[in-house]
Every structure is written in C-alpha cells, then in structure tokens.
C-alpha cells in the first residue's frame, strides 16, 4: 500500500476521493501525522465528523482489519495503524459528541484477574473504536467486582473479557456466574477471547460469543448489537 513518492504528496492538493484513498494508505502505513492532517482537511472542506469517521477512518481500518485477519499484516503494523486512527479520532471525538452522533454501541473490556497480557485486548478495543463503538477499557487484572461495577456505571451493550493464560481463563466463568447471581447476566452481551480459548470453552462458561481475533470481535459485536436492538 505504501507510495514511494509519499513525501511528494501534498494532502491539501488532493480532491476528496483521492484524499480518502491516500488516507487509507496512510492509515495502513501507520502515519499518524498524515491521518491527523487528512482529518482536519476533510473537516475544513465541510465534511461532517461522522462522514470523516465512516468514510475515511473506519473505511481504512476495515482494510487493516481484513489484512490482519488474513495474516498479511501483523501485530506491530496493526498497533501502528490503530494508533494513527486514534490520532484522527482524537480530533473527531469532541465534534461527534457535540453533534450527538450515536456510537454503534458501547463495550466494557478488560483482561481478567491474575492476567497482565493486554496487547490482544488493546487491539480489540482499538478495532472496536475504529468500527464506531465507544470502548471503556478496565485494563488488566480485572476482578469480578470491578467488571460488575463498570456494567452498572456504564450500561454498555457488551462486556468483553480477555485471558491469555490457561490458569486465568476459568475466571471468566466466575464473572459470568457473579452476573447471573445479581440477575444482570441477560442485560449484556458477553464476548470472550484470548489465545488459549476456543468456541467450546465460550459455550461452556455461558458467554454469548467467543472471538478468535479482533476483526471477528468487531463483526460479532456489530451483529449481536443489531440483533438485540431489533428484538
Ligand atoms: Co506471556 N504467556 N506470560 N507474556 N505471553 C503466553 C500467553 C504463553 C502462551 C507463552 C508460552 O509459554 N508459549 C504462556 C501461557 C501458557 C499457558 O497458559 N498455557 C505465557 C506465560 C506462561 C506467561 C507468564 C506466566 C510467564 C512467567 O512469568 N513465567 C507471565 C504471566 C504474567 C501474568 O499474566 N500474570 C507472562 C508474561 C508476559 C509478558 C508480560 C512478558 C508479555 C505480556 C505483555 C503485554 O501483554 N503487555 C507476554 C507475552 C507478550 C506473551 C506472548 C508471547 C504473546 C501474547 C500476545 O500479546 N499475543 C504469548 C505467547 C503467544 O501467544 N504466542 C504469551 C499477540 C496478541 C495480538 O494476541 O493476545 O491472542 P492475543 O489476542 C488476539 C486474540 O486472542 C483475540 O484478539 C486478539 C487480536 O487478534 N482476543 C480477543 C484477545 N482478547 C480478546 C478479547 C475479546 C475478543 C478477542 O473480547 C471480546
């Protein structure tokens, strides 16, 4: 996707369509300054913030997500792309809040108690933000009380839990059981992920979905949220 003559390209000289195409490339290449500049140019041309988000940033991140899922891009590249997306999001977020544009949905996510692995969780969070979700990140080593307090406070559509250790993955069931005991299990979609998990484990602990990677998490989240809102 890189353009060898990238240094020669003046973003403000490009027509809207070409600029968006260039932003796809810049996002793919993890160029945060260019994404910030492109975002500002489009806003300056009268694009509304939601259109910039959907057409330029989310569109570009979808390409990154697909190539990550297909093994063409790897973790470092995706983190860079996600980071440049965040630089555009930082400009758009207050404008979106001001225009009252509804996020696609809201997710609370955290790595479970006893586990400090957070690279995968962060990727999921960033890709979800890239898809238009509001994401509340509880960090690592998250106990059931902290998850549940966040569910009460934030009222998200989705609870996402991550675990990378065979010794910590059973804690996901502890959280789901605590939700059931409090009578709030069915108020939320529960999605789980992490390298040692699989679909069967997700079913056994009573999650709504196991997601093998960040791109899948975004697809599953979109579909479960729209199903729930339709019903
Ligand atoms: Co750790 N570690 N580690 N480690 N570490 C593993 C997981 C391990 C498999 C390595 C090995 O032995 N081969 C092994 C676990 C073995 C097991 O349980 N069977 C292991 C171990 C043993 C440990 C320690 C115990 C080592 C020690 O101290 N003796 C220790 C544990 C500390 C603790 O948590 N209490 C430990 C520590 C660490 C570091 C701190 C050094 C570092 C973590 C740094 C960090 O995260 N900030 C680390 C790392 C980097 C790894 C490996 C090498 C890489 C993990 C990673 O980031 N992968 C890992 C080996 C491996 O997996 N190859 C290993 C990249 C990431 C993008 O993938 O996290 O799977 P992943 O996330 C994916 C999907 O799983 C999914 O989407 C993500 C993106 O596509 N996903 C979700 C993840 N969470 C999701 C949540 C969702 C949806 C999808 O919610 C909706």
Mutate to test the pocket of ligand 1, among 81, 147, 164, 167 (most ligand atoms within 8 A of CB): 164
Task: Specify the pTM.
Answer: 0.82
How many Å apart are CA 228 and CA 221, to the nearest integer?
Answer: 10
Mean pLDDT of 133-154: 97
Confidence of residue 95 (pLDDT cuts 50, 70, 90): confident
The whole-number pLDDT of residue 53 equals: 85
Instruction: Please list the alpha-helical segments (H only) found in the chain.
Output: 16-28, 32-44, 49-51, 59-69, 75-99, 119-130, 144-154, 171-181, 199-205, 214-230
How many Å apart are CA 2 and CA 22, to the nearest integer?
Answer: 10
The whole-number pLDDT of residue 100 equals: 64
What Cα–Cα distance (Å) separates residue 168 from each residue in 10, 43, 114? Answer: 50, 45, 6
In this predicted model, what pLDDT tens digit does every residue of 159-205 receive, in sequence order?
Answer: 999 999 999 999 999 999 999 999 999 999 999 999 999 999 999 99
Check pLDDT > 90 for residue 145.
yes
Q: For residue 124, report the distance from its CA to the centre of ligand 1, in Å.
A: 14
The whole-number pLDDT of residue 6 equals: 52
* Pick from 17, 161, 68, 44: nearest CA to 28: 68
């Amino acid at each position: 996707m890189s353009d060898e003559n990238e240094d020669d390209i003046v973003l403000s000289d490009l027509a809207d369509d070409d600029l968006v195409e260039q932003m796809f490339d810049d996002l793919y290449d993890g160029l945060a300054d260019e994404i910030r500049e492109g975002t500002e140019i489009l806003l300056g041309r009268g694009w509304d913030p939601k259109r910039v988000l959907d057409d330029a940033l989310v569109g570009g991140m979808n390409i990154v997500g697909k190539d990550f899922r297909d093994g063409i891009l790897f973790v470092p590249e995706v983190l860079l792309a996600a980071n440049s997306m965040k630089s555009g999001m930082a400009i758009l977020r207050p404008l979106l809040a001001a225009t009252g544009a509804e996020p696609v949905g809201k997710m609370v996510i955290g790595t479970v108690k006893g586990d400090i692995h957070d690279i995968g969780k962060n990727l999921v969070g960033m890709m979800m933000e890239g898809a238009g979700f509001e994401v509340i990140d509880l960090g690592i080593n998250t106990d059931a009380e902290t998850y549940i307090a966040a569910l009460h406070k934030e009222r998200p559509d989705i609870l996402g839990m991550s675990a990378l250790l065979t010794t910590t993955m059973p804690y996901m069931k502890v959280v789901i059981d605590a939700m059931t005991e409090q009578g709030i299990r069915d108020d939320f979609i529960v999605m789980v992920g992490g390298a040692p998990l699989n679909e069967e484990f997700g079913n056994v602990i009573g999650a709504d979905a196991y997601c093998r990677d960040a791109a899948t998490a975004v697809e599953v989240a979109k579909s479960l949220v729209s199903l729930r809102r339709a019903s």
